[in-house]
Amino acid sequence: MADGLDDEAYEALVTAAETYRAALTVRLAGEAGLRTGEITRVAPRHLREPEGDADLSVLAVPSDDAATGVEAGADDGSESEAAARDGSPIDRETAVPASLAAELRRYAESADLGESEPFVDVSPRRVQMIVSETAERAAARTDGLVDPGVTPRDLRRTFARRLLVDRGVDPHAVREAGGWETMATLDGYLGPLDGEAIAEAFGGDGVGSPDGSGAMTAPTALGGFEALADREGREDPLAAVPDGVVEADRWAESWVVRRAGDRDRVEIAGAAGVGREALRDRGATAEGPWRDAVAEGEPVATEGATATAGRPAIAVPVRYRDVTHGALCVVAGGDAPISPVSSAERREIAALGQCLGWAVTAGRWRDLLHSDAVTEVEFHTGDEGAFLARASAALGCRIGLASTVAVDDDASRFYLSVEGARPQALADVIAGASGVSDLRVIETREDGCDVSARVAGGSAVRTLTEHGATVRDATAEDGRVRVVADLPEGADVRPVADGFRDAFADARLASKESVPRSPRSEDSLREGVADRFTDRQWAALSAAYHGGYFDWPRGSTAEEVADAMDVSSPTFHNHLRKAQRRLLDELFEDGRRTRRPDRE
């Protein structure tokens, strides 16, 4: 694979990434030219905007001995972090596309990263594994279009080939951006030129784009991203995004299709540039690329289809993790002839679909948080794919879920209370379970134990959470799992039940009822405090509490809790310290407002 991946294979690889962090890992190698170790060192402070070019950002690449304040254990605002910010050695600078820069900033904000905290806070070995796992997934999905043996080095070759061959960038600039020591490294991409090609290069026609248009590919769907960020009030994001997309001249129509009522009926959730009746008349709800996008979970580009008025179009899944809410469709506009959809445009619209999927799920969580009543649902399953069902059947024990803490985008840590089984027996079951690993014993009792385990997939709890539900109770006994969860009052339960049955074939909805929230419920007591935390801070505090970090003697050390969360010890301390401070702020700020002066 000396020449790297072509555009189609690279796009398939990025699309196959199952987490935000995995996609950024692939793109930092393939579009910024970073080496494996360099990917683990770049942080928000290394990204800046150059003067006079809105289509690119500049990323400084720290050298091997560059250290951040967080890695050194410094708190926010400390002298160590300030010194690292001002004086850590930089190996070189590289240019990154505006779309990648925007994704990096969005990820830093959502993950509550400090300026010196790495975007990809894992080991270089883990970076190699992320690329390998993504490549294997892409190879399986594309029937061999992507080589399952793709490595970060192959992605750097892709970076060089696309710049030198597809876009004709000055080799000197490519060498500096990629950190290659000599031009000889790039010779394999610089084939002989005939006279016409040399004359064209000397003529200064400019740098070509991947689609051969001779111009840099600029973002075309920024209005859609802005619609997500700038929504007023409680406007449905499924309706807001199409309006934002068609603000660009490139896209004449945009709409969102989702299933409604039963699984064979669909509806237009939002549309811009075309009326809903016109879409139905064209058969856009009955056919079109959106069906393949939903079924395959990947972007689909097409042209000539009746459903898209015979023009180039893209359909991408509106997806959050394993939950697909529908599909976002965009149709090209402008004067004829209309250019075909480029790979960069496919990636941009795919990213918008992912962000829209997250916004839909987040909206459900928000509605649940602020509603006075909830729809309580109870599901039962004995599917062997459900880890808790399988473990309780094998051991003849009862397992209760105390808490879950998100470790990263594709895994959670489950804190379990086990009655009727010892830790070693549970460890033996986990050893043969797919997606379940890293069992840690917190406490051992005469009749059971408290443990935690890392779970990636195969979880009834995670499936409901990803649909925007809050799991109230989960127990497993004799091979059957019972899960009680809350949904916002008035929420359509059918898509949630369908998604649950997609994951566990024998699952059934045992009950559904509207339940008023008690003013003294656990949630109401926690809301005043919990809404002050970021997701990372809440995860750190929850993991520390349920892991026994605050017990005496401690059930887990800080290093053990950090390792269980798959973060570094300084990063864990950073989030935990901030969470503790905000908890105490709530206590003492309230106290200052209400307490009486102390007596002499």
Q: List the CATH number of the domain containing 350.
A: 3.30.450.40
- Distance between CA 600 and CA 595 in Å, rounded? 15
pLDDT at residue number 145: 86
The answer as to whether 1 is a domain residue is no
| 484 shares a domain with 392 | yes
The answer as to whether 217 is a domain residue is no
The answer as to whether 575 is a domain residue is yes
pLDDT digits (tens, 9 = 90+) for 382-427: 887 788 888 899 899 999 988 888 776 667 888 999 999 988 888 8
The answer as to whether 33 is a domain residue is yes
Map residue 54 onto helix, strand or coil.
Answer: coil
Domains identified in the chain, total number: 4
Amino acid at 439: L
| 507 shares a domain with 525 | no
- Among 152-156, 204-208, 290-294, 489-493, the least confident range: 204-208
Q: Is the pLDDT of residue 283 over 70?
A: yes
pTM: 0.45
| 530 shares a domain with 503 | no
State the residue range of the domain holding 420: 373-515
The answer as to whether 169 is a domain residue is yes
In order of 13, 15, 163, the CA distances from 10 in angstroms are: 5, 9, 14
Q: Is the pLDDT of residue 57 over 80?
A: yes
| 507 shares a domain with 534 | no
Count other Cβ atoms within 10 Å, centred on residue 311: 18
In order of 156, 289, 476, the CA distances from 285 in angstroms are: 41, 10, 41
The answer as to whether 238 is a domain residue is yes
Q: List the CATH number of the domain containing 599.
A: 1.10.10.10
Closest CA to 76 of 421, 582, 443: 582
- Among 181-190, 348-357, 394-403, 456-465, the least confident range: 181-190
Q: What is the mean pLDDT of residues 320-340?
A: 76
pLDDT at residue number 305: 66
Give, rounded to a whole angstrom, the gap between the first and last alpha carbons of the chain. 80
| 362 shares a domain with 242 | yes
Amino acid at 91: D
**Residue 452 DSSP symbol:** E
- Distance between CA 526 and CA 14 in Å, rounded? 39
- The domain boundary, picked from 368, 384, 406, lies at 368
Consecutive H or E run containing 358? helix 343-370
| 51 shares a domain with 119 | yes
| 385 shares a domain with 464 | yes
- The domain boundary, picked from 321, 337, 368, lies at 368
Which structure tokens are listed for 45?
A: 């402070």
| 84 shares a domain with 24 | yes
- The domain boundary, picked from 171, 202, 233, lies at 202
The answer as to whether 208 is a domain residue is no
- Among 145-149, 418-422, 427-431, 489-493, the least confident range: 489-493
pLDDT digits (tens, 9 = 90+) for 579-588: 888 788 766 6
Greater confidence (287 vs 593) lies with 287
Q: Is the pLDDT of residue 92 over 80?
A: yes
pLDDT at residue number 598: 38
Torsion of the alpha carbons at 165, 166, 169 and 173, rounded to the nearest 10: -70
- Distance between CA 501 and CA 263 in Å, rounded? 12
Amino acid at 272: A
Burial class (CB in 10 A: 0-12, 13-18, 19+), 102: middle
For the chain, what is the mean pLDDT?
77
| 470 shares a domain with 487 | yes
- Distance between CA 16 and CA 342 in Å, rounded? 18
The answer as to whether 248 is a domain residue is yes
Which structure tokens are listed for 531?
A: 């809404």
Which structure tokens are listed for 522?
A: 């656990």
Share of the chain above pLDDT 70, in %: 74
pLDDT at residue number 396: 92
pLDDT at residue number 30: 93
pLDDT digits (tens, 9 = 90+) for 65-91: 544 433 333 333 333 333 334 446 888
| 529 shares a domain with 472 | no
| 467 shares a domain with 383 | yes
- Distance between CA 244 and CA 280 in Å, rounded? 22
pLDDT digits (tens, 9 = 90+) for 514-560: 877 654 444 444 555 656 677 788 888 888 888 888 887 778 888 88
Phi-psi region of 423 (alpha: psi -120 to 50; beta: other; left: phi over 0): alpha
| 282 shares a domain with 161 | no
Map residue 585 onto helix, strand or coil.
Answer: helix
Q: Is the pLDDT of residue 230 over 80?
A: no
- Distance between CA 28 and CA 100 in Å, rounded? 8
The highest-confidence range among 124-138, 173-187, 218-232, by mean pLDDT, is 124-138
